[in-house]
Amino acid sequence: MTGGAGFIGAHLTRALLATGAEVVVIDDLSTGAVSNLAGLPVKLVIGSVTDRSLVEEACTGAGSIVHLAARPSVERSLLDPMATHTVNATGTLTVLGVAQRAETHVVLTSSSSVYGGAGPLPRAEDAPTLPRSPYAASKLAAEGYALAYQAGFGLPVLAVRLFNVFGPYQSVGHAYAAVVPSFIDAALAGRSLTVHGDGRQTRDFTYVAGIADMLCDAAVRRVSHPRPVNIAFGTRTDLLTVISELERIVGRRLSVHHDAPRTGDIRDSQADAATMRTLFPDATGLDLAAALEATVAWYADRTGTTPGAGPGAVPGAPASERF
């Protein structure tokens, strides 16, 4: 597994180990952490997916490669497009070349960002793609290469598009942190939550455990498909609703600061999950409220915080009047 010391990798590693699989992880630890795999019987190879010899060594004898490694963040890609391309596109080519030589099945994780703002909701896999950032373009290139290797070389591939995955082990405390862990971290610490824009933008938020289960199933069964596949449950929630749920969970009102919208962000996102349900008919996911409760509990335990206690309450108007 590439990128296995990251947030999704931490969950997928545990799911794979539960099946009795042997797991080898490649990670350069730029966004992952050794602590995410602490105590697990895995082999960790520290290095980049752009290093072909390292990838070849780590993937020797593998029945399936789950390719999670990426340089994440739309904002980060706008600052350094070439670095994003090198890891996300060229790194993927490296993995595919190794897999082709070893005749190894590949599960590749792409992103809903490839759709951009194009097309009606929910977005099916045949909707137009219109990347709005180098990050999105690099992920579209990666899945394109993967499907080309399948068509051109007969390499069995499943390219999946993920939608706003969140949950335990997701990193916080840096400029490129995702919105849900950023909100939770601020709420527990009593800081103001930063919303870019009006907060009415919508996302298909997906709890990580369900994603890990499907990726595990795909690797074990060596699932392949000739087109990209959305991996999400077709929900649509705006950021203000997420904040309202967090207020319920922590038991107090939260201070919210609105900032300018970010370049490259899309307004709305929602998956058409029909193909996913055909490939993974038993897939289930937590509803947003339960998923946020589980995630807050994990971060609270990690930081020694008790939800509902501490600073951060905002007296006065209800949430609907504060935005």
Quote the CA–CA distance of 89 and 142 in Å, as a whole number: 5
Is residue 4 within 8 Å of 23, Cβ to Cβ?
yes
Quote the CA–CA distance of 170 and 177 in Å, as a whole number: 8
176 flagged as catalytic: no
Q: What radius of gyration do the chain's Cα atoms show?
A: 19
3-class DSSP string for 212-272:
HHHHHHHHHHCCCCCCCEEECCCCCEEHHHHHHHHHHHHCCCCCEEEECCCCCCCCECCEC
For residue 27, give the H/E element and its range.
Answer: strand 24-27
Local structure of 185: helix, strand or coil: helix
Quote the CA–CA distance of 93 and 110 in Å, as a whole number: 14
**Which of 115, 135, 149, 299 is an active site residue?**
135
Pairing of strands 157-162, 229-231: parallel
Is residue 5 within 8 Å of 32, Cβ to Cβ?
yes
Pairing of strands 64-67, 43-46: unpaired
Q: What is the DSSP letter of 123?
A: B
Is residue 222 within 8 Å of 156, Cβ to Cβ?
yes
Catalytically annotated residues: 135
